[in-house]
Amino acid sequence: MTTLFQGSGVAIVTPFHADGSVNFKKLEELIDWQIRSKTDAIIICGTTGEASTLDDEEHLACIRSAVEVTNKRVPVIAGTGSNDTKHGIHLSKEAQRLGADGLLQVTPYYNKCTQNGLIQHFSAIAATVDLPIMLYNVPSRTGMNITPKTIASLSQIDNIVALKEASGNISQVAEIAQLTQGKIDLYSGNDDQIVPILSLGGKGVVSVVANILPTQTHDLVMHYLEGRCKESLDLQLRMLNVINNLFTETNPIPVKAAMNLMGLDVGSLRLPLTDMESDTLARLRQAMTDYGIEVTL
């Protein structure tokens, strides 16, 4: 089985110019900074990357940019999920053509489906590409939960190799680990649950907070994987107030605000997402300052 990465994969934001177009120069700068800061994988065009408001041309251009600037230094995992299986197949085949190292496949949203529908949806996409696939379970956004039994079934498919688990349900993660018996790699999809998922055999995290604390997020995971569990836990707890304040409004509203406070100049968001409210922004700024993050704006 292919392991996509161990450590911290950043769910990287998509920076925009003032006119709302994608700022590819800034995206390349951010990716280069992430790699220099020990991030172990780049996850492009995920939730944090506002993939739902990128058209296909922009979506594929972001994947191409990530592949080119990363230049095989770390894996690039491209979000190519859709609630339309045919569209998911198209994006996945294009991402493979562009040189992505893996794919992130979210559950179908809005139209939803049965567990059997999930199996058929993911199986159909997997059959059209040779890339390793990470399933993405985030029922708070999609209204769909992939059950442990379904994940165990999907883990029998050769190129379905990983799961980004963002249900928040640690008991479910334990059941997945029990049923899959190492046939699928587990990654935390929630920054406040990295250590708990590592303790159940996880390989790392697909992280939002890594956009502002890349080295620390990498270290948090690697401390645990290398046996320094107390140091890992200390980092998890020290980062918790920053993490919590990155989710006081819908992601990626707060993390983009945080990056702009740091002077990273990633721009605003695309509607229907709007800039952070003043009260939650003030709490975020304080959490960052308390942690020791330099706020320049």
What residues are labeled active site?
136, 164
Collapsing DSSP states into helix, strand and coil, what is residue 135? strand
Tokens 């920054």 sit on residue: 191
Task: Write the CA distances from 57 to 103, 182, 240, 270, integer angstroms.
Answer: 17, 37, 37, 16
Strand residue runs (E) in 143-293: 160-165, 185-188, 204-207
Collapsing DSSP states into helix, strand and coil, what is residue 98? helix
Tokens 């993390």 sit on residue: 255
State CA 77 to chain mean position distance: 9
Q: Which residues share a beta bridge with 164?
A: 136, 187
| Tokens at 34, concatenated | 């992430």
Tokens 């408001």 sit on residue: 53
Tokens 């294009």 sit on residue: 94
